[in-house]
Amino acid sequence: MTQIAFGTSGWRGILCDDFTFDNVKTVVQAIADNINAAGEQHKGVVIGRDTRFLGQRFTEIAAGVLAGAGIKAYLCQREVPTPVLSFEILQRGAAGGINFTASHNPPEYNGVKFSPSWGGPALPETTADIERRANKMLGQACYAELGPVAAHQQGLLELIDPREKYLCALEQKIDFDCIAKLGHVALNPLYGTARGYLDEPLRQRGIPYTVINDHLDPYFGGQPPEPSEAHIPDFIALVKNDPSIRLGLATDGDADRFGIIDADGSYIEPNYIIALLLDYLIRIRKLEGGVARSVATSHLIDAVAKKHGVPVYETPVGFKYIGELISQDKLVIGGEESAGLTIMGHVPEKDGILACFLVAEMVAREGKTVRELLERLYGEVGRFVTRRDNLKLSPELEIAYKSKVTDLPATVAGTKVKDVIRIDGTKLVLDDGSWLLFRKSGTEPVVRLYGEASSDGRLAEVMAAGRQFILG
């Protein structure tokens, strides 16, 4: 029997394979036991879902298992963005939230993500406890369930819609009057949970927009619901071919990631967006605090932080570490290269909706395209070019990988290795500011190779050296 394992964003599996009704009940019971052990069962739990197959049924099952454990379920009536569920946990003072989502994964996947009472993704000590409890119960049906009528009669089930409160809170963090000056924008919720969230603030103000992929489709149009350049060709073509569109804003399936298309139809890497927003929030919004980025995220952020004299917190991959720092009020902004960010005073969770509107506000206020803003920033702090590749390992190379990253070279691409960082994977920082990061996948024979340099040519040299080191 497949063991339950929580990754960087919860437990995920393939529907009808390991992601089954029985396994879901077991995981939810393990979460209930964790909450009961902490003495927080009286606070209740928010339950949400994205737009995937059987999402509503899974949430109903979860509510029944929680009710059977004596914990009230606040059940979202429709699919809900991940950051909205985080917001709802905090504003209700709930014990946590259970979200049925596989984020940007293909449609055959679903997942369970648990967020404790502080609103961010559960930290390793919490997920380890849930894993231990769940795996001990696997195959034993160690759960009780209450039907919806009985749960409601006992005060253990309440249907909720958190959209209006979240959008009202967003009004305090985004200058929509400024965005109104931007002009025509394009929106792409990728058939996901941002439907009714990306468009509603614009509709209320009469801001012109064009939206695509805004109907329910559990197949996500035949592409993974990820707003990366490879998966949104229709959206890129829309922006490129319509000269009236000033900006394209996209979110992933559960709306915790963002994708930005500039006025000319060019895709802007999330790394650069985080750096631009850091500069904007400090320079224009006058926010004070540091910045957090994952070990795999661009050092352009470090250069902007140095310009403004603010600290940089480098974290392992996984937004939970950034969310923890946000909850401690240490950050102006925190972000990951995988298109997740949040800001001071907001939820300690990735929020693609917030990110999209922040970029729209920045572009409107500055009166420049994203590319123009990026070139200006390069002129101030230097140029940074990033890239990520996946390297598939043979069985022999997989066995040899651990020894390879133990016995590291003194130079890479003709430049001395200045520093080695091992907080998540193995990162080699070179004397010229270039760097490489090797991160082994936990689920497949793949090494994720990240690199950064000051030019395309130099980056090609560094990445080639990294590939040769792993595969050669």
**446, 390 in Cβ contact below 8 A?**
yes
How much is the average pLDDT of 115-138? 95
Predicted confidence (pLDDT) at residue 197 exceeds the cutoff of 90: yes
Percent of the chain's residues with pLDDT above 70: 100
CA atoms within 13 Å, Cβ hemisphere of 284: 17
Question: Which pLDDT score is estimated for 1?
Answer: 58
Q: What residues form DSSP beta bridges with 389?
A: 449
pLDDT tens profile 25-35: 999 999 999 99
For residue 370, give both structure tokens. 């994203």
CATH 3.40.120.10 boundaries in the chain = 11-163, 173-381
Give yes or no for residue 141 having a pLDDT over 90.
Answer: no
Q: Do 105 and 223 meet the contact criterion of CB atoms below 8 Å apart? A: no
| Reported confidence tier of residue 194, pLDDT bands at 50, 70, 90 | very high
What is the dotted CATH code of the domain comprising 11-163? Answer: 3.40.120.10
Q: Is the pLDDT of residue 2 over 90?
A: no
Longest dimension (CA), the chain: 71
Note the pLDDT of residue 443. 74
Residue-wise pLDDT tens digits, 373-403: 999 999 999 999 999 999 999 999 999 999 9
Q: Which residues contact 19 (CB under 8 A, 6 or more apart)?
A: 12, 13, 109, 110, 111
Check whether 9 has a pLDDT greater than 80.
no
Q: What is the mean pLDDT of the chain?
A: 96
Task: Read off the pLDDT of residues 214-246 as tens digits, 9 standing for 90 and up.
Answer: 999 999 999 999 999 999 999 999 999 999 999
Q: How large is the average pLDDT for residues 131-158?
A: 92
Under CATH, what is the fold of the domain 173-381?
Alpha-D-Glucose-1,6-Bisphosphate; Chain A, domain 3 (3.40.120)
Q: How many CB atoms lie within 10 A of CB 90?
A: 20
Q: Is the predicted pLDDT of residue 142 greater than 90, yes or no?
A: no
CATH number, domain 385-471, options 3.40.1010.10, 3.30.310.50, 3.30.70.270, 3.60.20.10: 3.30.310.50
Rounded distance between C-alpha atoms, residue 39 and residue 28, angstroms: 17
- Per-residue pLDDT, 156: 98
Q: Decide if pLDDT at 144 tops 90.
A: no
Which runs of E-coded beta strand occur in 58-191? 73-76, 96-100, 109-116, 157-160, 184-188
Say what the pLDDT of residue 394 is: 96
**What pLDDT is stored for residue 442 in this prediction?**
77
424 φ/ψ sector (left φ>0, alpha ψ -120 to 50, else beta): beta
Evaluate whether 391 touches 445 at the Cβ level (below 8 Å). Answer: no
Residue in this structure with the two tokens 């946990």, named with its chain if needed: 89
Task: Give Cβ neighbours of residue 394 (< 8 Å, ≥ 6 apart).
Answer: 445
Overall average pLDDT of the 364-380 stretch: 98
- Which residue intervals of the chain bear CATH 3.30.310.50? 385-471
| Residue 338 pLDDT exceeds 90 | yes
Mean pLDDT (whole number) for 95-121: 96
pLDDT at 433: 97
Asked if residue 415 has pLDDT above 70, the reply is yes
pTM (2 d.p.): 0.95
pLDDT exceeds cutoff 90 at 472:
no
**Mean pLDDT over residues 248-261, rounded?**
98
Confidence of residue 143 (pLDDT cuts 50, 70, 90): confident
